Amino acid sequence: MAGSGHEVSLEEQIGQWRSYLRRRQTIHSVDVAELEDHLREQVTVLMDAGLATDEAFLVAVKRLGDLDALSREFAREHSERLWKQLVAVDADSGEPRARTRTNALVAFCLAVVAAVAIKVPALFGLQLHQDGAFYARNLSLFVLPLLAGYFVWKRRVPSGTVRWLIAAFVAAGVFANVYPFVPGGFTEVLTALHAPIALWLIVGVAYAGGRWSQVDGRMDFVRFSGELFIYYVLIALGGGVLTAFMGMIFHAIGIDLEPFFQSWLLPCGAAGAVLIGSWLVEAKQSVIENMAPVLTRLFTPLFTAMLIAFLSVLLWTGRGVDIERHALIAFDLLLVVVLGLLLYSVSARDPRVPPGAFDVMQVMLVVSALLADAVALWAIAARITEFGFTPNRVAALGENVILLVNLAWSAVLYVRFLRGRAPLANLERWQTNYLPVYAVWAAIVVIVFPLLFRYV
């Protein structure tokens, strides 16, 4: 009975949307029937992903606004009333509000499990400050399987996919612990750095909930990743302030909380915050979607200026690039941030708007990153030629080649768009199709490198 009530509500909402567009047809040229097909298709996709009918309609109208100006006006003018209508359905049936409460409860419980899991090794004598290498190799395994489980439950992922996800996490646990690593060796550090990269793609499959083969599904996961990073940083900053005040007020009565902070609050809080942040991204998606494009607009010019300044100073001074491990990690992270800025700007851009000054700046950013990556590759190749192969150098070589290919073709696609020879959607498709390449290389580093370089 509740289901039929939702169907009536959906048809009424679509009818109001249809009437709004038809009244405005004298002002705008619009094919209402074609747009309605798109709207219903979006509603179906969102319902398959686990949203209630009313929630799916709200999100579908918002998405349709990216293609049609009248739908965007409808969403803006009616957003408050539609939201109140959703709340009314919640009051009648209890389903949407109950689902929200259930999502929060499940996320909180999983956050507690993650916080407890990271302390379980202590029962076997493994302490965080003494056995840091073990925790570094297995850190992602304390959290990411639980996060994937949350999305499996929320998206109703098919059992076949669930078995594949479990197998992937089990394999990661085996390869992270089966090899006789040299303590503090290169391959152990590389495993600790690359295992989370490979496993994050596994989380993405669970997050997409059957839509991983679609560009939109992969793009949604990219957005989620960036939004989770924003929320996690905000949670960490708030936690830092809380920790500072706790330390000060307890110090005033002669109690030192530093051991508690180091052994319990920091590791447990850091693990649990991943689940809490993920739930916040899902619960407050419409708010954070507005934040990410704003940050992209802000930081794209800054990163472009920084890379141009770096290349200019490099050319002026003639100095080489430091390819020590920490410098290479920072360099690769910078290139990943550039790709993230590119992806977010493309996904938030209205495809009907012709190329402008910001698009030219995006091309400058990509080309600058491409040149910087080429310089790093040259330095790595020169060091390998002079001193031979090491795990760090080979890993860095592979990662920078992968980034170079991505940046090079991204630059080509963006230039084609600027010249009016290709749609910008080609760039988004290329970026999302390229995601598995990073995970495959990370898996190779974790599985093959310890054998290839004899665990050094």
Same domain? For 62 and 101 the reply is no
* Ranges 88-97, 138-147, 166-175: which has the least confidence: 88-97
Q: What are the CA-CA distances from residue 288 to residues 74, 138, 167, 412 (Å)?
A: 21, 30, 33, 30
Same domain? For 67 and 105 the reply is no
Domain stop point among 53, 70, 93: 93
Which helix (H) or strand (E) segment holds residue 271: the answer is helix 266-283
Name the band, by pLDDT with cuts 50, 70 and 90, for residue 77: low
Domain stop point among 59, 93, 127: 93
Q: Give the closest residue to 232 by CA, choosing from 274, 282, 170.
A: 274
With contact defined as beta carbons under 8 Å apart, do 197 and 439 qualify? Answer: yes
- Three-class SS state of 51: coil
Same domain? For 171 and 270 the reply is yes
Same domain? For 279 and 289 the reply is no
Same domain? For 108 and 234 the reply is yes
- Its sign, for the CA torsion 199, 200, 202, 207, is positive
Same domain? For 84 and 210 the reply is no
With contact defined as beta carbons under 8 Å apart, do 239 and 273 qualify? Answer: yes
* pLDDT score at 75: 59
Name the band, by pLDDT with cuts 50, 70 and 90, for residue 95: very low
* Ranges 10-24, 296-310, 378-392: which has the least confidence: 10-24
Same domain? For 271 and 292 the reply is no
363-407: pLDDT as tens digits: 999 999 999 889 888 888 888 888 888 898 899 899 999 999 999
CA dihedral angle for residue 444, residue 450, residue 451, residue 452, rounded to 10 degrees: 70
Task: Say how far apart CA 13 and CA 20 lie, in whole Å.
Answer: 11
**319 has a pLDDT exceeding 50:** yes
Name the band, by pLDDT with cuts 50, 70 and 90, for residue 299: confident
187-222: pLDDT as tens digits: 999 999 999 999 999 999 999 988 898 888 888 898
Structural domain count of the chain: 3
Over range 28-40, report the average pLDDT: 69
Same domain? For 39 and 102 the reply is no
Same domain? For 203 and 121 the reply is yes
pTM of the model: 0.75
Task: Say how far apart CA 347 and CA 325 lie, in whole Å.
Answer: 33
Written as one string, the DSSP assignment of 361-378 is: HHHHHHHHHHHHHHHHHH
* pLDDT score at 366: 93
* pLDDT score at 147: 96
Contacts of 145 (CB under 8 A, 6+ apart): 169
**30 has a pLDDT exceeding 70:** no
Q: Give the closest residue to 307 by CA, choosing from 392, 366, 374, 237.
A: 366
Same domain? For 58 and 127 the reply is no
Domain stop point among 283, 316, 349: 283
* pLDDT score at 2: 38
243-290: pLDDT as tens digits: 888 888 888 888 888 888 888 889 999 999 999 999 988 877 655 455
Which range of residues forms the domain containing residue 33? 2-93
